[in-house]
């Protein structure tokens, strides 16, 4: 466990099993087969359902200074439409004049509909021991309603195109004491870090497999992890400073990765080691 946990950039776990076939020694082939069996066993029962249920209850609960539910929140397909919304995010929203991903849009709705301050809405973005995250539960609920929907992210609005182009440069931006960029691990075909296969997120098939499998219930952490968390923890391992929740860079990078996954069938929350 320590070895895996210590590995750098273990982003998008279990995303591209197909690449394992490239690997040659018999010892490792056995290991790969065992890992695949482990993944199959895990998929039998996914605790993410508990997060989805809690998220649905939160969505319909009157909360905040305005005592309102989130049921009129516009996630991009009109007020109250949850089904299929996540497969079209991030997108440009005229009311905020910003490109928003799911997490930033949830914050917007908690502020405008429920009357929370942005600080209150962004409190506890990620769950931990003894600390539940409402955002992660809401993310589980909303994303589950896109199961089976093909990814269809648009960059037709100039702000969307700008986010995509900047997100691409963030993906390739090398920095920090280790000179790492996202591309150090995720710009190569058929590579592994330790035994973890690495999707090449600049290629359609790999990007589709990876992006459509987040959020995920992480067995090793006992939490459902959102895409914002995925980026946050990858940058930590990249030796960068701390990524701010729903920051412009996080949304731009998400735009780049989500757009690259267009056409892939969304299938999350999933379950990963």
Binding part of the chain for another protein, among 102-110, 136-144, 194-202, 217-225 by CB under 8 A, reads 194-202
* Residue 22 host element (H or E): none
- CA dist 128 to 125, 179, 221, 259, Å? 10, 30, 8, 30
Residue 184 binds another protein (CB under 8 A): yes
Which residue in 68, 87, 252, 268 binds another protein (CB under 8 A)? 252
Cis geometry, peptide bond prior to residue 70 (ω within 30 degrees of 0):
no
Which residue in 62, 81, 179, 222 binds another protein (CB under 8 A)? 179
Which residue in 61, 249, 265, 273 binds another protein (CB under 8 A)? 249
Contact status, residue 160 vs residue 91, Cβ threshold 8 Å: yes
Residue 8 binds another protein (CB under 8 A): yes
User: Per DSSP, what are the bridge partners of residue 223?
Assistant: 218
- Paired tokens of 104: 């930033």
> Could you give the CA distance from residue 165 to residue 213 in angstroms, rounded to a whole number?
23
Which residue in 83, 247, 265, 273 binds another protein (CB under 8 A)? 247
Quickly count: other Cβ atoms within 10 Å of residue 169's Cβ: 12
Residue 131 binds another protein (CB under 8 A): no
Q: Of the two residues 73 and 166, which places its CB atom closer to another protein in the complex?
A: 166
DSSP at 217? E
Q: Of the two residues 87 and 107, which places its CB atom closer to another protein in the complex?
A: 107
Taking Cα atoms as reference points, which of 82, 75, 98 lies closest to residue 246? 98
Residue 240 binds another protein (CB under 8 A): yes
Say whether 109 is catalytic. Answer: no
- Paired tokens of 202: 């600049």
Residue 65 binds another protein (CB under 8 A): no
For another protein, the binding residues (CB under 8 A) are 3-4, 6-8, 23, 27-28, 31, 158-159, 161-162, 165-170, 172-181, 183-185, 187-188, 190-196, 198, 202, 235-237, 239-244, 247-250, 252
What are the residue numbers of the active site?
234
């Amino acid at each position: 466990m320590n070895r895996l946990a210590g590995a750098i950039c273990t982003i998008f776990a279990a995303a591209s099993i197909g690449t394992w076939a490239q690997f040659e020694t018999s010892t490792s082939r056995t290991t790969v087969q065992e890992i695949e069996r482990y993944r199959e066993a895990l998929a039998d029962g996914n605790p993410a359902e508990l997060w989805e249920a809690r998220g649905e209850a939160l969505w319909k609960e009157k909360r905040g200074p305005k005592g309102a539910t989130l049921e009129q929140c516009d996630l991009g397909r009109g007020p109250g439409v949850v089904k299929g919304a996540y497969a079209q995010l991030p997108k440009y929203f005229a009311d905020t004049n910003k490109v928003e991903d799911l997490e930033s849009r949830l914050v917007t709705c908690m502020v405008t509909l429920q009357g929370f301050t942005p600080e209150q809405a962004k409190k506890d973005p990620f769950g931990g021991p003894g600390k539940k995250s409402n955002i992660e539960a809401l993310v589980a609920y909303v994303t589950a309603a896109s199961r089976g929907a093909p990814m269809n992210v648009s960059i037709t609005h100039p702000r969307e195109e700008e986010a995509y182009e900047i997100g691409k440069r963030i993906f390739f931006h090398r920095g920090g004491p280790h000179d790492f960029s996202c591309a150090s691990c995720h710009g190569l075909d058929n590579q592994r870090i330790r035994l973890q296969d690495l999707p090449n997120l600049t290629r359609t098939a790999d990007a589709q497999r990876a992006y459509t499998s987040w959020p995920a219930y992480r067995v090793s952490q006992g939490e459902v992890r959102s895409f914002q968390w995925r980026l946050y923890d990858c940058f930590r391992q990249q030796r960068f400073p701390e990524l701010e929740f729903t920051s412009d860079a996080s949304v731009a990078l998400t735009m780049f990765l989500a757009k690259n996954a267009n056409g892939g069938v969304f299938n999350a929350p999933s379950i990963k080691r």
